[in-house]
Amino acid sequence: MATDVKVPALGESITEGTLAQWLKQPGEAVAADEPIASLETDKVSVEVPSPVAGTMSEQLFKEGDTVEVGAVIARIGAAGEAAAPAAPATGQGQTQVAGAQVNPVGAGENPALREDHAAAPADHADLTLSPAVRRAVLELHVDPSKIQGTGKDGRLTKDDVLAAAKAKDDSPAPVHEPEVKAPAVAPAPAPQPVRAASGERHEERIKMTRLRQTIATRLKDAQNTAALLTTYNDVDMTAVIDARARYKDLFEKKHGIRLGFMGFFVKAVALAARDVPSVNARIEGDEIVYSDFLDVSVAVSAPKGLVVPVIRDADKLSFAEIEKAIAAYGKKAKDGTLTADDMKGGTFTISNGGVFGSLLSSPIINPPQSAVLGMHRIEERPVVRDGQIVARPMMYLALSYDHRLIDGREAVTFLVRVKEAIEDPTRLLIDL
């Protein structure tokens, strides 16, 4: 008897998600608790595990479909049980490559592309490709089953296909000795593949993921609702760099984690927020809500967009605890295992565009928060110290804030407090 696979709880206030990808196809063996599908919600990606071991029997939704919490999306049969005869469920997100699934040649369709597609080995029928990769495979006439994927879980990327096509073009053509045969009627020349004309341009339409739609909506709502303003300053990173160089080995040996720059900035924000509590507050209706705790949302780049997991009670944590929390969130973001609870709440955000090379930017607040601190890249610049022009490792800081709640004087004061703490880290130890 088949076992139903249901959509698990996705987090507080989340009632539905998008079926992003099937990780198992009908007929494939499935282990207990092995992920069979990936769901996308407004905040995170969630893998759906199989409740039992057996064989994927049936898929009840296509990729790209919206599914509600508790809905049955698949069925798992006994080991070795034949799969349901229904057509494989593939949607916009992925396209299955198999000879049996090639559409018949229609008006305007290139027969050469159809022949290449139909020639895909049958034993690779479970290979899944994104639309961009599939188009590259068809246009460049390469066999995807013979390419080693470098994407997540070994999946093919467009760069993998391009590299394989280039390697094929660069390889020398085999030399054959001519054969002597009796005269015969020359066969008609084989049709040559029609290649895209040089300079031909293409467009591709891909539906926005649920996460990207949510990011777009929230950022635009912030611009439409808040009175956004940004104040800037620069900070000399010499003292922090020296402290980090001096103690990083001892720190890692004792705590098992590297000492980074973010820990200093989280501590500096916690110190400055005590003097300027409005940056840690929010507006609800006609009321201002002040928090006696500091939950810092740290912007982390994930494969499908920017996410902001929250470091709880950051003002009470040690450097080691902050660095461990950041490292754990970074790994979960890379693996796609962040949960909705990881990103719930947050009273202040720190975004580090410097890791991507940003020199200066104006970040947008993360509603309902009222402020966000933007860090940028460190570079040596000439500055004046004691009447002398010297080179110092400098970083631009940007504080974007909701001017409805935070006055300019408060914003500047907060940013100066952060600057002072970074330029003299001793302040972090003696609470100045």
Question: What's the pTM value of the predicted model, to 2 decimals?
Answer: 0.62
Q: Do 253 and 321 reside in the same domain of the chain?
A: yes
Read off the DSSP letter of residue 147. S
The burial of 228, by beta-carbon neighbours within 10 Å (0-12 exposed, 13-18 middle, 19 or more buried), is given as middle
Q: Are residues 293 and 374 both part of a single domain?
A: yes
Strands 348-352 and 371-375: parallel
- On whether residue 209 sits in a domain, the answer given is no
Whether 174 is in a domain gets the answer no
What burial class does residue 307 get, using C-beta atoms within 10 Å of its C-beta: 0-12 exposed, 13-18 middle, 19+ buried?
A: buried
Same-domain status, 157 and 53? no
CATH number (domain holding residue 83): 2.40.50.100
Q: Is residue 412 part of a domain?
A: yes
- Give the model's pLDDT for residue 90: 42
Active site residues: 403, 407
Q: Is the pLDDT of residue 218 over 50?
A: yes
Q: Do 394 and 258 lie in a common domain?
A: yes
CA atoms within 13 A on the CB side of 250: 5
Strand 29-30 and strand 310-311: pairing? unpaired
Tell me how many domains the chain contains: 3
d(CA 397, CA 352): 10
The tokens describing 73, both together, are 């999306």
In this model, does residue 40 exceed pLDDT 90?
no
60, 93, 126 — which closes off a domain? Answer: 93
CB 73 within 8 A of CB 39: no
Q: Is residue 189 part of a domain?
A: no
Together in a domain, 297 and 424: yes
User: Has residue 173 been placed in a domain?
Assistant: no
Nearest alpha carbon to residue 38 among 344, 306, 342, 335: 335
The pair phi, psi for residue 120, each rounded to 5°, is -60, 135
- pLDDT tens sequence across 352-407: 998 889 999 999 998 899 999 999 999 999 999 999 999 999 999 999 999 999 99
In a domain, residue 104? The reply is no
Q: Is there a single domain that holds both residue 417 and residue 373?
A: yes
Q: What would the pLDDT profile of 43-85 be if each residue is shown by its tens digit?
A: 677 888 888 888 888 888 888 888 888 889 888 888 766 665 5
Strand partners, 236: 394
Pair 303, 366 in one domain: yes
Q: What CATH number is given to the structural domain containing 409? A: 3.30.559.10
Q: Which stretches of 79-146 are DSSP H helices?
A: 111-118, 131-140
Residues comprising the chain, all counted: 432
Last residue of a domain, one of 127, 143, 168: 168
Q: How far apart are CA 159 and CA 180, in angstroms?
A: 43
- Segment 96-116 mean pLDDT: 40
Residue-wise pLDDT for 135-179, tens only, equals 677 777 777 877 887 776 677 777 788 888 878 766 555 544 444
- 413/407 Cα distance (integer angstroms): 10
Domain contains 395: yes
Residues 395 and 256 in one domain: yes
CA–CA gap between residue 364 and residue 361 (Å, rounded) = 10
Do 296 and 398 belong to one domain?
A: yes
Residues 47 and 5 both lie in one domain: yes
Between 1-15, 170-184, 246-260, 277-291, the lowest mean confidence (pLDDT) is in 170-184
Q: Are residues 274 and 392 in the same domain?
A: yes
- Domain containing 158 equals 116-168
Largest CA distance in the chain: 99
Residue type, 43: K
Q: Are residues 149 and 286 in the same domain?
A: no
